[in-house]
Amino acid sequence: MFWLNVDYPTWIWKLHVDSCRFCVPEETVNKGIDELKDHGAWMSFKSFDEAKKYFKENSKPNSIWQPCKVCNPE
């Protein structure tokens, strides 16, 4: 399982594997789980390719694709 932290305020879309210590999907007022809110969301995917495809189809030109350097998803 992969989690993509879609963060609108920083433009960074950071991908993690679910075992990563920095992967902490949590619903807040501004951020959803598999549901985009004002500040984005934690989106879950079965594969790296599925997450990358989602980024390509849904991100803005300024958005940054950033696989986590700690868990190194691939």
Chain contacts with Zn ion (rule: CB under 5 A): 16, 20, 22, 68, 70-71
- Which tokens is 40 given? 């984005």
Q: Which is nearer to Zn ion, 6 or 61 (CB)?
A: 6
Q: Which is nearer to Zn ion, 16 or 32 (CB)?
A: 16
CB of 69 to Zn ion, least distance (A): 8
DSSP class of 46:
S
DSSP class of 62:
T
Strand 2-7 and strand 12-17: pairing?
antiparallel
- Which tokens is 48 given? 């790296």
CB of 55 to Zn ion, least distance (A): 16
